[in-house]
Amino acid sequence: MIDVSEKLIMQPVPIDRQQALVERLTTACGGAYSPETRRKYYISGPQWAAAYQGQALFHAPTREPVGFEEVIRRLGQLGIRCWTTHDTDVIPTETLGTGAQWETVARIKKSLEENNVQCSMVTTETFHHAVFAASPAAEAPEVREYAAGRLRNTVKIGHELGASYAVYWPGSLGYQVQGAIDETQTLKWYAEGLNAACEQDIQTAAEKNRPTLKHCLEAKPFEPAAEILLPTSDAMLAFIHSGLLTHPEMVGLNPEYLHELMWGAAPRAALARVLLCGKLFHFDINDGYRLKHDVDIAIGLVNPLDWLNVLVLLRSYGYTGPFNLDYKPPRTTSNWGVFSVSLPTAVDRFITLWEMAGEVISDPIISEATDALKAGGGAIGKPVGEIVSANKELLTLHELISHRLFQILIGQHRGRTYSL
Protein backbone atom coordinates (compact mmCIF):
# COMPACT_ATOMS: atom_id res chain seq x y z
CA MET A 1 0.00 0.00 0.00
CA ILE A 2 1.24 3.50 -0.82
CA ASP A 3 1.26 5.67 2.26
CA VAL A 4 -0.71 8.60 0.88
CA SER A 5 -0.44 10.69 4.04
CA GLU A 6 3.35 10.61 3.86
CA LYS A 7 3.28 11.75 0.24
CA LEU A 8 1.08 14.68 1.09
CA ILE A 9 3.38 16.02 3.76
CA MET A 10 6.52 16.06 1.58
CA GLN A 11 8.37 19.23 2.47
CA PRO A 12 9.28 21.91 -0.11
CA VAL A 13 12.56 21.01 -1.80
CA PRO A 14 14.97 23.92 -1.47
CA ILE A 15 16.86 24.88 -4.59
CA ASP A 16 20.20 23.70 -3.22
CA ARG A 17 18.83 20.16 -2.86
CA GLN A 18 17.00 19.90 -6.18
CA GLN A 19 19.90 18.70 -8.33
CA ALA A 20 20.70 16.02 -5.75
CA LEU A 21 17.08 14.87 -5.87
CA VAL A 22 17.02 14.73 -9.67
CA GLU A 23 20.37 12.93 -9.67
CA ARG A 24 19.20 10.36 -7.11
CA LEU A 25 16.00 9.64 -9.04
CA THR A 26 17.92 9.45 -12.34
CA THR A 27 20.27 6.89 -10.80
CA ALA A 28 17.28 5.05 -9.39
CA CYS A 29 15.90 4.72 -12.94
CA GLY A 30 18.93 2.60 -13.85
CA GLY A 31 19.55 1.50 -17.40
CA ALA A 32 22.27 4.05 -18.17
CA TYR A 33 25.11 3.00 -20.49
CA SER A 34 28.73 3.90 -19.85
CA PRO A 35 30.39 6.60 -21.98
CA GLU A 36 32.53 3.81 -23.53
CA THR A 37 29.42 1.92 -24.62
CA ARG A 38 27.79 5.07 -25.96
CA ARG A 39 30.87 5.81 -28.05
CA LYS A 40 30.36 2.59 -30.02
CA TYR A 41 27.34 4.13 -31.76
CA TYR A 42 27.51 6.74 -34.50
CA ILE A 43 25.54 9.33 -32.54
CA SER A 44 25.96 13.08 -32.89
CA GLY A 45 24.88 15.91 -30.63
CA PRO A 46 23.96 19.18 -32.34
CA GLN A 47 25.30 22.44 -30.90
CA TRP A 48 21.83 23.95 -31.41
CA ALA A 49 20.07 21.18 -29.46
CA ALA A 50 22.30 21.39 -26.39
CA ALA A 51 22.37 25.18 -26.51
CA TYR A 52 18.64 25.65 -27.19
CA GLN A 53 17.37 28.15 -24.64
CA GLY A 54 13.68 27.30 -24.86
CA GLN A 55 12.61 30.29 -26.92
CA ALA A 56 9.84 30.22 -29.55
CA LEU A 57 7.24 32.54 -31.00
CA PHE A 58 5.14 32.30 -27.83
CA HIS A 59 7.95 31.32 -25.45
CA ALA A 60 10.63 33.34 -23.70
CA PRO A 61 13.93 31.55 -23.06
CA THR A 62 14.17 29.49 -19.87
CA ARG A 63 17.89 28.64 -20.06
CA GLU A 64 21.17 30.55 -20.18
CA PRO A 65 23.31 30.57 -23.35
CA VAL A 66 25.88 27.74 -23.66
CA GLY A 67 28.93 28.02 -25.91
CA PHE A 68 30.55 25.35 -28.04
CA GLU A 69 33.41 24.73 -25.60
CA GLU A 70 30.96 23.67 -22.91
CA VAL A 71 28.80 21.62 -25.29
CA ILE A 72 31.77 19.75 -26.75
CA ARG A 73 33.21 19.11 -23.29
CA ARG A 74 29.93 17.67 -22.03
CA LEU A 75 29.41 15.55 -25.16
CA GLY A 76 32.89 14.09 -24.62
CA GLN A 77 32.10 13.27 -20.99
CA LEU A 78 28.81 11.65 -21.91
CA GLY A 79 30.38 9.52 -24.64
CA ILE A 80 28.49 11.18 -27.52
CA ARG A 81 31.30 10.91 -29.98
CA CYS A 82 30.24 13.44 -32.62
CA TRP A 83 29.19 17.08 -32.68
CA THR A 84 27.27 18.93 -35.41
CA THR A 85 26.69 22.64 -35.96
CA HIS A 86 25.17 25.36 -38.10
CA ASP A 87 27.68 27.97 -39.27
CA THR A 88 25.89 30.68 -37.24
CA ASP A 89 25.62 28.57 -34.08
CA VAL A 90 29.30 29.24 -33.56
CA ILE A 91 30.23 32.19 -35.81
CA PRO A 92 28.30 35.47 -35.89
CA THR A 93 26.82 36.16 -39.34
CA GLU A 94 28.88 39.33 -39.78
CA THR A 95 32.22 37.57 -39.32
CA LEU A 96 31.49 34.55 -41.53
CA GLY A 97 34.21 34.12 -44.13
CA THR A 98 36.65 36.49 -42.35
CA GLY A 99 39.84 35.88 -40.40
CA ALA A 100 37.80 35.93 -37.18
CA GLN A 101 35.89 32.92 -38.48
CA TRP A 102 39.09 30.91 -38.86
CA GLU A 103 40.17 31.85 -35.34
CA THR A 104 36.91 30.42 -34.03
CA VAL A 105 37.31 27.32 -36.19
CA ALA A 106 40.78 26.81 -34.69
CA ARG A 107 39.30 27.04 -31.19
CA ILE A 108 36.61 24.51 -32.14
CA LYS A 109 39.27 22.12 -33.47
CA LYS A 110 41.18 22.40 -30.22
CA SER A 111 38.03 21.72 -28.17
CA LEU A 112 37.17 18.71 -30.29
CA GLU A 113 40.67 17.25 -29.96
CA GLU A 114 40.86 17.84 -26.22
CA ASN A 115 37.54 16.10 -25.64
CA ASN A 116 37.93 13.28 -28.14
CA VAL A 117 34.87 14.43 -30.09
CA GLN A 118 34.63 14.57 -33.90
CA CYS A 119 32.72 17.04 -36.01
CA SER A 120 30.61 14.79 -38.25
CA MET A 121 28.35 17.35 -39.95
CA VAL A 122 28.12 21.05 -40.71
CA THR A 123 25.05 22.88 -41.94
CA THR A 124 24.32 26.36 -43.22
CA GLU A 125 21.65 28.42 -41.51
CA THR A 126 19.56 29.84 -44.37
CA PHE A 127 16.36 30.57 -42.47
CA HIS A 128 16.95 32.85 -39.45
CA HIS A 129 18.77 35.90 -40.77
CA ALA A 130 16.81 38.77 -42.38
CA VAL A 131 18.73 38.31 -45.64
CA PHE A 132 16.77 35.05 -46.12
CA ALA A 133 13.34 36.68 -45.70
CA ALA A 134 12.49 35.68 -49.28
CA SER A 135 14.49 32.41 -49.01
CA PRO A 136 18.08 31.66 -50.06
CA ALA A 137 16.80 31.35 -53.66
CA ALA A 138 15.13 34.78 -53.73
CA GLU A 139 14.58 36.81 -56.90
CA ALA A 140 17.37 39.28 -56.09
CA PRO A 141 20.62 37.91 -57.56
CA GLU A 142 22.68 39.38 -54.70
CA VAL A 143 20.75 37.28 -52.17
CA ARG A 144 21.41 34.12 -54.19
CA GLU A 145 25.05 35.00 -54.61
CA TYR A 146 25.33 35.61 -50.86
CA ALA A 147 23.54 32.29 -50.12
CA ALA A 148 25.84 30.36 -52.46
CA GLY A 149 28.83 32.00 -50.74
CA ARG A 150 27.49 30.86 -47.38
CA LEU A 151 27.10 27.28 -48.61
CA ARG A 152 30.62 27.30 -50.05
CA ASN A 153 31.99 28.72 -46.83
CA THR A 154 30.32 25.99 -44.78
CA VAL A 155 31.89 23.34 -47.03
CA LYS A 156 35.32 24.85 -46.29
CA ILE A 157 34.61 24.92 -42.55
CA GLY A 158 33.42 21.31 -42.75
CA HIS A 159 36.66 20.17 -44.35
CA GLU A 160 38.71 22.12 -41.84
CA LEU A 161 36.86 20.46 -38.93
CA GLY A 162 37.08 16.99 -40.47
CA ALA A 163 33.33 16.61 -41.18
CA SER A 164 31.90 14.02 -43.56
CA TYR A 165 28.43 15.48 -44.10
CA ALA A 166 26.83 18.80 -45.00
CA VAL A 167 23.10 19.24 -44.36
CA TYR A 168 20.65 21.65 -46.00
CA TRP A 169 17.26 22.37 -44.49
CA PRO A 170 15.40 24.70 -46.89
CA GLY A 171 12.65 25.68 -44.44
CA SER A 172 12.40 29.19 -45.86
CA LEU A 173 12.23 27.99 -49.47
CA GLY A 174 8.56 28.75 -50.02
CA TYR A 175 6.13 31.58 -49.47
CA GLN A 176 3.67 33.17 -47.08
CA VAL A 177 1.34 34.75 -49.62
CA GLN A 178 -0.12 33.27 -52.81
CA GLY A 179 1.27 33.97 -56.23
CA ALA A 180 4.27 35.95 -55.03
CA ILE A 181 6.98 33.63 -56.30
CA ASP A 182 7.61 31.48 -59.34
CA GLU A 183 8.05 27.99 -57.87
CA THR A 184 9.74 26.51 -60.94
CA GLN A 185 12.29 29.27 -61.19
CA THR A 186 12.89 29.26 -57.44
CA LEU A 187 13.70 25.54 -57.48
CA LYS A 188 16.14 26.10 -60.36
CA TRP A 189 17.85 28.85 -58.39
CA TYR A 190 17.97 26.65 -55.30
CA ALA A 191 19.71 23.94 -57.34
CA GLU A 192 22.34 26.50 -58.41
CA GLY A 193 23.21 27.06 -54.75
CA LEU A 194 23.67 23.33 -54.16
CA ASN A 195 25.72 23.03 -57.32
CA ALA A 196 28.02 25.78 -56.06
CA ALA A 197 28.46 23.88 -52.77
CA CYS A 198 29.31 20.64 -54.60
CA GLU A 199 31.82 22.42 -56.87
CA GLN A 200 33.49 24.00 -53.86
CA ASP A 201 33.56 20.61 -52.16
CA ILE A 202 35.29 18.94 -55.12
CA GLN A 203 37.91 21.69 -55.13
CA THR A 204 38.51 21.79 -51.35
CA ALA A 205 38.54 18.00 -51.02
CA ALA A 206 41.22 17.80 -53.73
CA GLU A 207 43.29 20.53 -52.03
CA LYS A 208 43.08 18.83 -48.65
CA ASN A 209 43.34 15.30 -49.99
CA ARG A 210 40.08 14.34 -48.29
CA PRO A 211 36.97 12.61 -49.64
CA THR A 212 34.17 14.94 -50.70
CA LEU A 213 31.35 15.51 -48.24
CA LYS A 214 27.98 13.84 -48.45
CA HIS A 215 25.45 16.59 -49.12
CA CYS A 216 22.12 15.89 -47.46
CA LEU A 217 18.78 17.62 -48.02
CA GLU A 218 16.37 17.70 -45.09
CA ALA A 219 12.65 18.11 -45.66
CA LYS A 220 10.07 19.53 -43.28
CA PRO A 221 6.44 19.91 -44.34
CA PHE A 222 5.56 23.07 -42.39
CA GLU A 223 7.47 26.02 -40.91
CA PRO A 224 8.83 28.63 -41.15
CA ALA A 225 7.51 29.36 -44.67
CA ALA A 226 3.75 28.87 -44.84
CA GLU A 227 4.01 26.78 -48.01
CA ILE A 228 7.20 24.83 -48.58
CA LEU A 229 8.55 23.97 -52.03
CA LEU A 230 10.35 20.79 -50.95
CA PRO A 231 8.14 19.61 -48.08
CA THR A 232 8.87 15.88 -47.95
CA SER A 233 11.72 13.44 -48.49
CA ASP A 234 9.89 12.15 -51.57
CA ALA A 235 9.79 15.67 -53.05
CA MET A 236 13.52 15.91 -52.45
CA LEU A 237 14.23 12.58 -54.13
CA ALA A 238 12.41 13.87 -57.19
CA PHE A 239 14.41 17.12 -56.99
CA ILE A 240 17.73 15.24 -56.81
CA HIS A 241 16.76 13.30 -59.92
CA SER A 242 15.26 16.29 -61.75
CA GLY A 243 18.33 17.02 -63.86
CA LEU A 244 18.89 20.37 -62.14
CA LEU A 245 21.83 19.16 -60.05
CA THR A 246 25.26 18.95 -61.67
CA HIS A 247 26.39 16.30 -59.12
CA PRO A 248 23.30 14.32 -58.11
CA GLU A 249 25.55 11.48 -56.94
CA MET A 250 26.93 13.75 -54.20
CA VAL A 251 23.49 14.69 -52.91
CA GLY A 252 21.24 12.53 -50.74
CA LEU A 253 18.94 12.99 -47.79
CA ASN A 254 18.93 13.71 -44.09
CA PRO A 255 15.37 12.71 -43.22
CA GLU A 256 14.10 13.68 -39.80
CA TYR A 257 11.79 11.23 -38.04
CA LEU A 258 9.33 13.87 -36.83
CA HIS A 259 9.30 15.79 -40.09
CA GLU A 260 7.89 12.74 -41.86
CA LEU A 261 5.40 12.07 -39.08
CA MET A 262 4.25 15.71 -39.14
CA TRP A 263 2.68 15.43 -42.58
CA GLY A 264 1.04 12.12 -41.72
CA ALA A 265 3.56 9.77 -43.31
CA ALA A 266 4.62 6.45 -41.88
CA PRO A 267 8.28 7.29 -41.13
CA ARG A 268 9.36 3.72 -41.73
CA ALA A 269 7.83 3.69 -45.21
CA ALA A 270 9.31 7.12 -45.99
CA LEU A 271 12.74 5.85 -44.96
CA ALA A 272 12.29 2.69 -47.03
CA ARG A 273 11.71 4.82 -50.13
CA VAL A 274 14.90 6.79 -49.43
CA LEU A 275 16.85 3.57 -48.86
CA LEU A 276 15.59 2.11 -52.14
CA CYS A 277 17.05 5.13 -53.94
CA GLY A 278 20.39 4.71 -52.14
CA LYS A 279 19.99 8.18 -50.66
CA LEU A 280 19.77 7.62 -46.91
CA PHE A 281 22.97 9.46 -45.96
CA HIS A 282 22.16 10.93 -42.52
CA PHE A 283 19.24 10.72 -40.07
CA ASP A 284 17.84 13.24 -37.56
CA ILE A 285 16.33 11.38 -34.64
CA ASN A 286 13.60 12.71 -32.38
CA ASP A 287 9.90 12.21 -31.69
CA GLY A 288 6.58 14.04 -31.66
CA TYR A 289 3.00 13.91 -32.84
CA ARG A 290 1.28 13.59 -36.22
CA LEU A 291 -0.07 16.76 -37.85
CA LYS A 292 1.27 19.04 -35.13
CA HIS A 293 4.09 21.59 -35.20
CA ASP A 294 7.76 20.70 -34.89
CA VAL A 295 7.88 19.86 -31.19
CA ASP A 296 11.25 18.06 -31.47
CA ILE A 297 10.76 15.78 -28.47
CA ALA A 298 13.59 13.37 -27.69
CA ILE A 299 13.59 9.94 -29.32
CA GLY A 300 11.19 7.31 -28.04
CA LEU A 301 9.15 9.46 -25.65
CA VAL A 302 6.07 9.47 -27.87
CA ASN A 303 6.27 6.59 -30.34
CA PRO A 304 8.60 3.91 -28.95
CA LEU A 305 6.93 1.07 -30.86
CA ASP A 306 7.20 2.93 -34.15
CA TRP A 307 10.81 3.79 -33.36
CA LEU A 308 11.57 0.14 -32.71
CA ASN A 309 10.15 -0.63 -36.13
CA VAL A 310 12.18 2.13 -37.78
CA LEU A 311 15.38 0.75 -36.29
CA VAL A 312 14.49 -2.78 -37.40
CA LEU A 313 14.29 -1.41 -40.95
CA LEU A 314 17.61 0.43 -40.69
CA ARG A 315 19.39 -2.57 -39.17
CA SER A 316 17.89 -4.93 -41.74
CA TYR A 317 19.00 -2.80 -44.66
CA GLY A 318 22.44 -1.92 -43.34
CA TYR A 319 22.23 1.83 -42.64
CA THR A 320 25.67 2.88 -41.34
CA GLY A 321 25.31 6.68 -41.24
CA PRO A 322 25.00 8.96 -38.24
CA PHE A 323 22.08 9.31 -35.84
CA ASN A 324 21.84 13.02 -35.10
CA LEU A 325 20.00 13.96 -31.90
CA ASP A 326 18.02 16.81 -33.49
CA TYR A 327 15.61 17.44 -30.64
CA LYS A 328 14.94 20.24 -28.22
CA PRO A 329 15.30 19.65 -24.49
CA PRO A 330 11.97 20.87 -23.06
CA ARG A 331 11.74 24.35 -21.56
CA THR A 332 11.08 22.74 -18.18
CA THR A 333 14.60 21.26 -18.13
CA SER A 334 17.36 23.39 -16.58
CA ASN A 335 20.79 24.08 -18.10
CA TRP A 336 22.17 21.47 -15.71
CA GLY A 337 19.34 19.08 -16.63
CA VAL A 338 20.18 19.28 -20.35
CA PHE A 339 23.50 17.52 -19.73
CA SER A 340 22.54 15.47 -16.68
CA VAL A 341 19.19 14.09 -17.79
CA SER A 342 18.08 15.16 -21.26
CA LEU A 343 21.05 14.17 -23.44
CA PRO A 344 22.12 10.99 -21.60
CA THR A 345 18.58 9.60 -21.41
CA ALA A 346 17.97 10.36 -25.10
CA VAL A 347 21.15 8.53 -26.11
CA ASP A 348 20.35 5.62 -23.83
CA ARG A 349 16.84 5.20 -25.24
CA PHE A 350 18.31 5.16 -28.73
CA ILE A 351 20.83 2.47 -27.76
CA THR A 352 18.14 0.41 -26.03
CA LEU A 353 15.82 0.62 -29.04
CA TRP A 354 18.71 -0.23 -31.39
CA GLU A 355 19.59 -3.31 -29.36
CA MET A 356 15.91 -4.30 -29.16
CA ALA A 357 15.74 -4.00 -32.94
CA GLY A 358 18.50 -6.61 -33.03
CA GLU A 359 16.35 -8.84 -30.82
CA VAL A 360 13.41 -8.41 -33.19
CA ILE A 361 15.57 -9.45 -36.14
CA SER A 362 16.79 -12.61 -34.38
CA ASP A 363 13.54 -13.44 -32.59
CA PRO A 364 12.65 -17.07 -33.42
CA ILE A 365 8.92 -16.43 -33.39
CA ILE A 366 9.07 -13.46 -35.75
CA SER A 367 11.57 -15.28 -37.99
CA GLU A 368 9.44 -18.39 -38.29
CA ALA A 369 6.27 -16.38 -38.85
CA THR A 370 7.95 -14.29 -41.53
CA ASP A 371 9.42 -17.33 -43.26
CA ALA A 372 6.02 -19.06 -43.22
CA LEU A 373 4.34 -16.00 -44.75
CA LYS A 374 6.97 -15.91 -47.49
CA ALA A 375 6.53 -19.64 -48.18
CA GLY A 376 2.80 -19.04 -48.74
CA GLY A 377 0.14 -21.73 -48.77
CA GLY A 378 1.42 -23.60 -51.85
CA ALA A 379 -1.22 -22.54 -54.36
CA ILE A 380 0.99 -21.20 -57.14
CA GLY A 381 -0.84 -21.31 -60.46
CA LYS A 382 -4.17 -22.13 -58.80
CA PRO A 383 -7.42 -20.17 -59.33
CA VAL A 384 -7.85 -17.03 -57.27
CA GLY A 385 -10.31 -18.58 -54.81
CA GLU A 386 -7.84 -21.34 -53.97
CA ILE A 387 -5.02 -18.80 -53.48
CA VAL A 388 -7.18 -17.02 -50.93
CA SER A 389 -8.09 -20.19 -49.03
CA ALA A 390 -4.52 -21.51 -49.13
CA ASN A 391 -3.27 -18.43 -47.22
CA LYS A 392 -6.24 -17.92 -44.94
CA GLU A 393 -4.77 -19.12 -41.63
CA LEU A 394 -1.21 -17.98 -42.38
CA LEU A 395 -2.23 -14.35 -42.63
CA THR A 396 -3.25 -14.30 -38.96
CA LEU A 397 0.51 -14.17 -38.38
CA HIS A 398 0.52 -10.46 -39.27
CA GLU A 399 -1.26 -9.66 -36.05
CA LEU A 400 0.83 -12.12 -34.09
CA ILE A 401 4.05 -10.47 -35.32
CA SER A 402 2.72 -7.12 -34.17
CA HIS A 403 1.92 -8.55 -30.74
CA ARG A 404 5.41 -10.01 -30.54
CA LEU A 405 6.93 -6.58 -31.28
CA PHE A 406 4.94 -5.18 -28.37
CA GLN A 407 6.18 -8.01 -26.15
CA ILE A 408 9.77 -7.29 -27.13
CA LEU A 409 9.24 -3.57 -26.47
CA ILE A 410 8.07 -4.20 -22.93
CA GLY A 411 10.39 -7.11 -22.21
CA GLN A 412 7.83 -9.95 -22.09
CA HIS A 413 10.00 -12.04 -24.38
CA ARG A 414 12.55 -12.02 -21.55
CA GLY A 415 10.04 -13.19 -19.00
CA ARG A 416 8.57 -9.95 -17.70
CA THR A 417 5.08 -10.90 -16.54
CA TYR A 418 2.11 -9.26 -14.91
CA SER A 419 0.07 -11.52 -12.70
CA LEU A 420 -3.16 -10.50 -11.15
Task: Give the interface with ligand GLO as residue ranges (CB under 6 A).
Answer: 123, 167, 169, 218, 220, 256, 284, 294, 326
Least distance CB 95 / ligand GLO (angstroms): 20
Report in angstroms how near the CB of residue 165 gets to ligand GLO at its nearest: 10
**CA gap 356, 279 in Å, rounded:** 25
In terms of CB distance, is 171 or 337 closer to Mg ion?
171
Site pattern 285..304 for Mg ion (x: CB under 5 A): ---------x-x--------
Instruction: Write the single-letter amino acid at 218.
Output: E
- C-alpha count within 13 angstroms, C-beta hemisphere, residue 340: 15
Smallest gap from residue 389 Cβ to ligand GLO (A): 49
Q: How far is the CB of 284 from ligand GLO (least distance, A)?
A: 5
Based on CB atoms, which residue is closest to Mg ion, 109 or 331?
331
Q: 123 contacts which partner out of Mg ion, ligand GLO, none, CB within 5 to 8 A by kind?
A: ligand GLO
Instruction: Enter the DSSP assignment of 119.
Output: E
Is 68 within 8 Å of 108 (Cβ atoms)? yes
Q: How far apart are CA 287 and CA 358, in angstroms?
A: 21
Question: Measured from the CB of residue 52, what is the shortest distance to ligand GLO in angstroms?
Answer: 10
Helix/strand/coil for 382:
coil
- Give the residue with the Cβ less far from Mg ion, 294 or 348: 294
Site for Mg ion in 354-413 (CB under 5 A): none
Nearer to ligand GLO, 260 or 363 (CB): 260
- Give the whole-angstrom CA distance, residue 404 versus residue 399: 9
Give the helix/strand (H/E) hosting 107: helix 99-114
CB of 205 to Mg ion, least distance (A): 25
**Closest CB to ligand GLO among residues 112, 217:** 217
Long-range contacts, stretch 335-342, CB < 8 angstroms, 24+ apart: 335/63, 335/64, 335/66, 336/19, 337/22, 338/50, 338/63, 338/66, 339/50, 339/74, 339/78, 340/19, 340/22, 340/23, 340/26, 341/22, 341/26, 342/298
The string of DSSP codes covering 254-303 is --BHHHHHHTT--HHHHHHHHHHTT-B--EE--B--TTS----BPTTSS-
Residues 217-256 that bind Mg ion (CB under 5 A): 256
Does residue 284 touch Mg ion according to CB under 5 A? yes
Please provide residue 114's backbone torsions phi and psi, each rounded to the nearest 5 degrees.
-65, -25
If 0-12 CB within 10 Å is exposed, 13-18 middle and 19+ buried, where does residue 310 land?
Answer: buried
User: Nearest approach, Cβ of 369 to Mg ion (angstroms)?
Assistant: 35
The least CB distance from residue 397 to ligand GLO, in Å, is 38
Q: Which residue is nearest to ligand GLO (CB)?
A: 123
Identify which of residues 326 and 348 has a Cβ nearer to ligand GLO in the complex.
326
Binding residues with Mg ion: total (CB under 5 A):
6
Q: Give SS3 for 416.
A: coil
Selection from Mg ion, ligand GLO, none that 167 binds (CB < 5 to 8 A by kind) is: ligand GLO
Q: Based on CB atoms, which residue is closest to Mg ion, 181 or 237?
A: 237
Of the candidates 299, 271, 272, the residue with the CA atom closest to the CA atom of residue 285: 299
Q: Which is nearer to ligand GLO, 108 or 258 (CB)?
A: 258
Positions in 310-339 near Mg ion (CB under 5 A)? 326
Residues that bind Mg ion (CB under 5 A): 256, 258, 284, 294, 296, 326
